[in-house]
Structure 1
Amino acid sequence: MRVVFSLLLPVLLAEVWLVTSLNFSSHSPEAQAELESQDLQNQTWEENTWTVPSDEEEEEYWLRTSLQQLSNETSNFGFSLLRKISMRHDGNVIFSPFGLSVAMVSLMLGAKGETKVQVENGLHLQALSQAGPLILPSLFKRLRETLSSNQDLDLTLGSLAFIHKDFDIKETYFNLSKEYFDIEYVPTNFRNSSQAKGLVNHYINKETRGKIPKLFDEINPETKLILVDYILFKGKWLTPFDPIFTEADTFHLDKYKAVKVPMMYREGNFASTFDNKFRCHILKLPYQGNATMLVVLMEKTGDHLALEDYLTTDLVETWLQNMKTRKMEVFFPKFKLDQRYEMHKLLQQMGIRKVFSSSADLSELSAVARNLQVSKVLQQSVLEVDERGTEAVAGTLSEIVAYSMPPVIKVDRPFHFMIYEEMSRVLLFLGRVVNPTVL
């Protein structure tokens, strides 16, 4: 099985496209003996049920705390993945922890035994999954519904499945994938790879409103199934930067090198804090719809990579609790990132190995699953940040003492950013900008 996870996020002030595609093809039958011996934890969806507390208040409390735990662990998974990426290169980074988690959990519906357990552990979701085999799909469904229902957030999520015309997919997997991920199935003849490529690209181009016209350059004719998840986040600053104040300014790459970048400027009320231990500024740049870009700027140029070893949900929560809103001047660079990662290599380093091997157990997906494995998980992300947004929200600014000078945060050196939804705290995107002038 070949998995292609293509995540494309144009973020116009954070317009984000996430496309995840998992592409399945055959592996050799030699692994049959090993697969048949894997009885441990080989639970089927039909054999297990998930029961929730009967009392409505207890159920609501349980759901709220479970969603918070899901959000926290997805964020910690993202921070762990960032550290793995940093071991390979120290340049610009952009990816979606939420998007990758959704893709892998939808795949888990078809997995059993050690294959499924490794995915749960790698995603940091093993504790939550103990409540029942469908708990994770149920929680992700609830979270997706909550995000999609926020009209001001302007977040669009969807799933497509391109299935080979004679591929024997299990009815249970088919029904569960539609119920929990609302997957739309499209019959496809992968034997005619050229025609299949055109069909898949056409659908994705249509669903992403022309943002991704050509996701696939080629498709393996042995492909049986391609799962595609996409997310569009068209974030608009709650208060936009005025382009009239954008000017070329210096961005320090390190102690010795610098580049010129278009630097945006705005004076207004901003929430921020300073971490004395790590010597960094943390700044909130809010979007409409209760989403936020959190910017983390080290006090000294060149210290940004050292911070990554300590990034956790608890640390970010501490920053948010210590935020104070005051009148400030903020200088923030315009930038665009375009990054592509072979996530399967990183996931294997995090312990998710079996699903990528000939001994993968995907027997909940298909009766012929002994011939299936995942070969690739690719993620491509594009992030663009500029001045655009709706008109500033009218409101009364807090009074400033006469003659006092507002504090200044100038983002003119490498920084990290997180884009998350405020209510759920779900980490939609995570990255760093080392050089705003390169993709």
Structure 2
Amino acid sequence: MWFFSILFIPFFLKPAHTNMDSKALSTSIAKFSAKFCNQLEKTSVVSSPLSAEYLLALLALGSEDPAHSELLKSLGLPDDDAVRTSFTSFANKLKSIKGITLNIANKVYIQEGDYDLSPALKNDAVKVFDAGLEKMDFTDSSAAGLINKWVESKTNERIKDLLSPDSLNSDTRLVLVNALYFKGTWVNQFDPIHTMDQAFHIDANTTVDVPMMFIEEEFLYGEDPAINAQFLQMHYAGEEASMLIVLPREVDGVDDLLTHLADGYDLVGQLDKLHRVKVKVTIPKFKIETEIDLKSLLPKMGVEAIFDPHNSGINKLLDNGEMLHVSKAVQKAFIEVNEEGAEAAAATAGGLVPLSEELTEEFVADHPFIAIINVKRMQYFWSVLRSPSEEMAGYKKYL
């Protein structure tokens, strides 16, 4: 299973200390992620809200009002010290991950010449976000290609041509890029011999034949009648990363489910209620590629000032105090889920309800659902599967 995400933001020139505990931080991420995904197009999408948060957090540290207060509110963080504490915590968690590959790479490209990051922002970029710094001539026709090559190197060459040559020009001062790469194998693998074409209900009237995987194993499982959904958590090798699938009971229920999550549903609290039980699991193989225009999406979440060419408040990024604004913000992402897995072994976790040998649940994801990849309880990637890709689906539609 692979996931890749890129977030690109170029900047153009305009002619109290707080600690959050792990659960509070996870809850803040979950709320931002749900609101983020609720604003996406009503198609199959993959995104990394956390990837967007990385760069919005860096912007928060380099801005004053009006951008500063909007950014903190969107992130669910009270002040700059909370930003530093939270994202330093992310970095520390990543250092000890076992069993999977998760690389997060941040880079700040700065226009050659008399431009440099402010000393405070440079310190934060390196120490808080572990970002690389590089001077570049954005007027050179090769600049976009060089950034694209860096992106390819950080995503195992899965994401190419992120930037077009006309994305950069003489007004560009900074380019921030965040790249994520994830690869994990299931603790309990799906045997390909059990994969067969079955109907996937895109909506109440449309069905396609897709390869559906099957396994019967012990997983973390739960239900919540309040949102009419089932929960299934499947771990990857090392058991520090997992995929949570949230499946509405109704075929057309995924939009209502997203609304519940965006309105403040306690998803992190629900994870604590899952119990270990034998489950008959049927889920589709799927592949999604998405490009998201964040300049259209973020204002719907209350992040507007950073795009204002006249009064953004982004005046603490450069050492000369120049006011900048965001002219373009794009995220590209890719995910593929298949049978790959390590040797089968039972998933274990502390504080779980003992397995009942008498009970076997059924979890049949044959209609739109939400899939979330958690790493050490932090939600890194969200997918909303409304229909598997044409590459994996037979698309024998019928009414």
TM superposition score normalised by structure 1:
0.80
The equivalent position to 1:178 in structure 2, one of 109, 118, 126, is: 126
State the SS of the aligned residue for 1:215.
coil
1:322 counterpart SS class: coil
Deviation at 1:301, TM superposition (A): 1.3
1:49-60 paired onto structure 2 within 5 Å: none
In structure 2, the gaps of 5 or more residues are 349-353, 392-399
Mapping of residues 135-154 of structure 1, within 5 Å:
135-154=82-101
Asked if 1:121 corresponds to 2:68, the answer is: no
Instruction: Indicate whether 1:413 and 2:363 are aligned.
Output: no
Distance in 1 (CA, whole Å) between partners of 2:114 and 2:58 is 18
CA displacement at 1:364 relative to structure 2: 1.2
Query: Which of 290, 304, 315 pairs up with 2:254?
Result: 304
TM-fit CA distance, 1:337: 0.9
Per-residue deviation, residues 119-151 of structure 1 (Å, max 9, x unmatched): 1112222x3x1xxx3331232022122123213
Change (3 A) 1:171 1:253: same
Give, in whole Å, the separation in 1 of the partners of 2:209 and 2:96.
41
Equivalent residue number for residue 360 of structure 1? 312
Contact 1:164–1:225 (CA under 8 A) maintained in structure 2: yes
For each residue in 1:204-244, what CA deviation from the matched residue of structure 2 results, as whole angstroms up to 9, or x when unmatched? Answer: 22233323342212232222211112221112111111111
C-alpha displacement at 1:318, in angstroms?
4.4
Cα distance change, pair 167–236 in 1 and its aligned pair in 2 (3 A):
farther
Q: What is the CA distance between 1:20 and its match in structure 2?
A: 2.1
The sequence identity of aligned pairs, in percent, is: 25
Counterpart mapping for 1:136-285 below 5 A: 136-169=83-116, 170-192=118-140, 194-218=141-165, 219-222=167-170, 223-285=172-234
Per-residue displacement from partner, 1:77-127 (whole Å, max 9, x unpaired)?
Answer: 111122222xxx3221221121111111112221123221111112222x3
Q: Is the 8 A contact 2:154 2:180 kept in 1?
A: no
What does residue 383 of structure 2 align with?
Answer: 431
Q: Which has the higher strand share?
A: 2
Q: Which residue of 2 aligns with 1:347?
A: 298
Question: Aligned residue for 1:106?
Answer: 58
- Equivalent residues in 2 for 1:30-49, closer than 5 Å: none
Moved more, 255-264 or 349-358: 349-358
The alpha carbon displacement at 1:196 in A equals 0.8
Classify the secondary structure of the residue corresponding to 1:112.
Answer: coil
Indicate how the Cα distance of structure 1 residues 148 and 233 shifts in structure 2: closer, same or farther if over 3 A, else same.
Answer: farther
Q: Given residue 35 of structure 2, which amino acid in structure 1 is its aligned partner?
A: S
Is contact 1:418–1:427 with CA below 8 Å preserved after alignment? yes
Partner of 1:21: 8
Larger helix proportion, structure 1 or 2? 1
Deviation at 1:344, TM superposition (A): 2.1
Alignment of 1:74-113 (within 5 A): 74-85=29-40, 89-113=41-65
Number of aligned positions between the proteins = 380
TM-score by length of 2: 0.88
Q: 2:389 is aligned with what amino acid?
A: T
Structure 2 residue matching 1:373: 3-state secondary structure: strand
RMSD: 2.4
1:252 deviates by 1.1
Q: What secondary structure is seen at the aligned counterpart in 2 of 1:301?
A: coil
- Structure 1 or 2, whichever has the larger Rg, is 1
Q: 1:429 & 1:399 partners in 2: Cα distance?
A: 32
